[in-house]
Chain A
Amino acid sequence: MSMADITQANQTQGTQTSRARKANENLVKRFFRATEIDTRLLGMVGALIIIWLGFQVMTGGLFLTPRNLWNLTVQTSSVAVMATGMVLVIVTRNIDLSVGSVLGFCGMIMGVLQAQVLPQYLGLGHPAIWAITLACGIAVGAAIGALHGSIIAFLNVPSFIVTLGGLLVWRGATWFVTSGQTVAPMDTTFRLMGGGTQGSIGATASWVVGVLACIAIIGAVLNSRRQRKRFGFPLRPVWAEYFLTILGCALVLGAVSVANHYYWPINIARRYADANSIAWPDGGLQIPHGIAVPVLVAIVVGIVMTFIATRLRFGRYVFALGGNPEAAELAGIKTRWVTVKIFMLMGVLCAIAAAISTARLNAATNAQGELDELYTIAAAVIGGTSLAGGVGTIAGAMIGALVMQSLQSGMVLLGIDTPFQRIVVGVVLVTAVWLDTVYRARAK
């Protein structure tokens, strides 16, 4: 049966089941209903594409190059990781203003651990240093989050105030760890988390990751179809399933291909060739970067957080709590514990983001993560998280982070000054939220 036949068959079937309702729907509406694509997410992706194409034209073709896209994703990963947690915080009608400072503090703790403390006992460059460091950083982040969450949930201090205090306290604490001195350099293994030539997984591994992702997409589609069949629920039309699967796989493989078309800088490649006694070819040695480790970390965090938010009881409680705190309490949900857990999770994500940004900078500094709280909140809000609570998606927030970074990166390419960049970002934030408000008002 050809695709057209399938479509035809489904249309006939559809008309029979609910003729009256479908008669009024045009082709576009039917497409969205059949594929169950979130139109808001689609709108955001559309905005992103417009921004990308706009910069592409304005920079004369500098923006949509493998190199720039690769760097863009690496620069996004730290804020994207934190934005996934910020979604849960904002969904429950809270806010976290302290994430930038907590990032700074966790980064400084991890910097001192790997550069000054652990080498004394394990020796410089010991392979376990990065793991111990990261584990300690995550523990510190979780502890700070638990403290914030407990004050908010059990002492009933508004989250705005608690985390505003946290913003000052942890920035100050960061300074105290080394009396303001910058700690460098970082452990070599730890630095892989920051990306760069070494911190990328190369062409072959990238394709493996891409193929695995495609298998996962196909598996997810089949599984959801099987589940719906088990209980006799209405199924998506077959053409819609094919469309979604092919689209998903094409995006994944396209992204891998882009990452694999960004090659090592020529002098690093030459040094590598010399060290491994590879003959230098005429056209230059082209070693692909592949997917950067921080991007991989961010994607894994995004998948795990989406799983937590949509597949686990905890995630269900987070959204119920945001939708109607009283109903959640009356339904017997331990709402205070849910709040504490959300802030702990946020702390853990700050630590992961701190690892990425200290590794990328190859140093832990006082000012690390300054203003990140605002970029994180902006990413979540641009990504469709409602400050009124109850609404938000992890994927949206990560795209929001990408939108913010795209704007900044594009303006850097255009040579726009920092003060003006901030003005643009501020205006975009307000405009995005206004557009979202209009959308919501229409949707009702």
Chain B
Amino acid sequence: MTEQRTPLVEMKNISISFGGIHAVDNASVDLYPGEVVALLGHNGAGKSTLIKILSGAYRRDAGEILINGEPAEIGNPRDAKKYGIETIYQTLAVADNVDAAANLYLGRELRTPWGTLDDVAMEAKAREVMGRLNPNFQRFKEPVKALSGGQRQSVAIARAILFDARILIMDEPTAALGPQETAQVGELIKQLKREGIGIFLISHDIHDVFDLADRVSVMKNGQVVGHARTEDVTKDEVLGMIIMGKVPPKAIPGPGAMQMA
């Protein structure tokens, strides 16, 4: 590692098991400001589970999380948000039956001086943010259920960036999208990166994320196979890490690396 700065996030030796199965076993990953780290692995490799520990959805059994070098206690999604960690889930996690503005502000509603919901102000802000992300979006009054996959994705992303996130977690951000929308998300990621936000991209498809990421961390069977800078490795080498756990020479092996005979 050439980086001398304090990492934005450092997850050290994280373990969690569900009913005897080690979903994540002694895994460590880190993330620097303005950096995109792709977390890769097959379905069930433990990447989503690891990241859900960071976003507060699961509680770790062992290990340590440092935010800006200081130990962070993350017990639920509210704690994570306090540290500026915002997550866009694979399932999108939007409430289908309420409109876009209500989803953007879910859990952090704007209120009038009388304590009632300030729907008008929320809608105004929603129009502004959505206008930046997806200028064609006009359906502010309809429940999110009525929107297309890409539109729902815009809502989920808008929600994450609305509150000045410092750390953004995107779980399969482009899985539900068409080519044009995928390109839009790519542009957005570059823009957020320039603003100094650290981004974890989680994907099981290397092609989705290789060009966007500065580094890759590969997981297999709940363990970290290794880390590498994308400029030091080829896609095929990373595929080798994902499938076989084979670590190329320029990558840093982790506990899950295949033991060379």
Contact = CB atoms under 8 A, between A and B. Distances in A.
Contacts of B117: 310-313, 316
Contacts of A228: 120
Given A320-B106, A324-B94, A332 B78 contact: yes
Given A313-B109, A323-B98, A329 B120 contact: no
B258 interface: no
Nearest to A311: B116
A186 B36 CA distance: 72
Given A316-B109, A320-B95, A330 B81 contact: no
A391 B121 CA distance: 24
Nearest to A232: B124
Contact of B95 (A231, A233, A328): A328
Contacts of B76: 332
A165 B92 CA distance: 37
Interface in A1-22: none
B115 A332 contact: no
Contacts of A311: 116-117
A319 interface: yes
B125 to A, nearest CB: 9
Contact of A327 (B78, B106, B123): B106
A312 B116 contact: yes
A324 B92 CA distance: 11
A185 B91 CA distance: 59
A42 B120 CA distance: 26
Interface in A376-418: 390-391
A327 B120 contact: no
B95 A330 contact: no
B123 to A, nearest CB: 7
Contact of A324 (B55, B93, B109, B121): B93
A88 to B, nearest CB: 14
B133 interface: no
B189 interface: no
B96 interface: yes
A221 to B, nearest CB: 15
Given A231-B120, A329-B77, A333-B107, A316 B93 contact: no
A49 B85 CA distance: 54
A241 to B, nearest CB: 17
B250 interface: no
Interface in B108-154: 108-109, 111, 115-117, 120-121, 123-124
Contacts of A233: 120, 123-124
A227 interface: yes
A327 B93 contact: yes
Contacts of A328: 95, 106-107
B115 A324 contact: no
B90 to A, nearest CB: 12
A339 B71 CA distance: 33
Interface in A266-319: 307, 310-313, 316, 319
Contacts of B124: 231, 233
B200 interface: no
A391 B95 contact: no
A276 to B, nearest CB: 45
Given A231-B124, A312-B115, A331 B77 contact: yes
B87 interface: yes
Nearest to B77: A332
Given A233-B123, A312-B115, A330 B97 contact: no
B96 A323 contact: yes
30 contacts: A227-B120, A231-B121, A233-B123, A307-B116, A310-B117, A311-B117, A316-B98, A319-B95, A319-B97, A319-B98, A320-B102, A320-B106, A323-B95, A323-B97, A323-B98, A324-B95, A324-B96, A326-B91, A327-B92, A327-B93, A327-B94, A327-B95, A328-B106, A330-B57, A330-B89, A331-B77, A332-B76, A332-B78, A332-B107, A333-B106
